[in-house]
Structure 1
Amino acid sequence: MFGLGELESAIMDVLWRTQEPAKVRDVLDGLTGRKLAYTTVMTVLDNLHRKGWVQRELDGKAYLYQPAVGREEAAARTVRAVLESSGDPEAALLHFARTASERETELLRSGLRRKSRRR
């Protein structure tokens, strides 16, 4: 995700897959293929909390973490941030539209129709 480091993104992926509040140990166990210290994961979760990516609730002596936003909303925020940082959002969006697949084009059309009906 735009604005997140590789480990932060991997941790968010674990939390999104889990779909329930998780302790640091649960997140660490979900990071398959990585040898990380418990304290490393704890620090990254604390940073994600500070950045507003995760919520946490004290459960005894340990925190339970869960995503503050869903994967889809986070992806939409990423697209928005990329467009805004492009220097020319209109040109970037038009370039994307020209390179979109037929399925992506239909999804965009459908979403725009729903948006115009809500106005």
Structure 2
Amino acid sequence: MPRRPLGQLEAEVLAALAGAGGSASTAELVDRLDGAPAYTTVNTILHRLHEKRLVSRARVGRHYRYRLAVDESELVADRMRDHLRHASDPGTVLNRFARSLSVEEARKLREFLDRLGAGG
């Protein structure tokens, strides 16, 4: 069964979990997220991410600690490809994306593209 595209809050929770550098509780993730989402909302998102097998969890006392079960870079790249597939003009989207990159991000992208062009 193919995965549904991630919602914005799901993506933010995954990014916060990746930024935690290991496992984190719901309360710890609430503190890391912008906009002060409700504990119950974040807990529901984590439950859904667990059902999708994007996070794993281990019970510690009465609560769970969560950790990524997938590679964050693969998830983000999948979302970017999905957005490009749905764009009426992917070239313009890529142009705007490239123009929004910092100097360092552009340098890294250029290195990756050069390696791809060289067969690497």
Specify the TM-score bucket, using the shorter chain as the normaliser. Answer: 0.5 to 0.7
Aligned to 2:42: 41
Matches within 5 A, 1:15-94: 15-31=17-33, 33-34=35-36, 36=38, 38-87=39-88, 89=90, 91-92=91-92
Secondary structure, aligned partner of 2:57: strand
What stretches of structure 1 of length at least 5 have no aligned partner?
none
Secondary structure, aligned partner of 2:24: coil
What stretches of structure 2 of length at least 5 have no aligned partner?
none
Distance 1:18 1:100, change over 3 A: closer
User: C-alpha root-mean-square deviation of aligned residues, in Å?
Assistant: 3.3
Return the TM-score normalized by structure 2.
Answer: 0.64
Percent identity over paired residues = 31
**Whole-Å separation in 2 of the counterparts to 1:52 and 1:18:** 18
Is contact 1:57–1:63 with CA below 8 Å preserved after alignment? yes
Shift of 1:21: 0.6
Distance 1:26 1:92, change over 3 A: same
Is contact 1:24–1:42 with CA below 8 Å preserved after alignment? yes
Distance 1:113 1:33, change over 3 A: closer
Count of matched residue pairs: 114
**Whole-Å separation in 2 of the counterparts to 1:52 and 1:11:** 14
Return the TM-score normalized by structure 1.
Answer: 0.64
Distance 1:92 1:117, change over 3 A: same
Shift of 1:50: 2.5
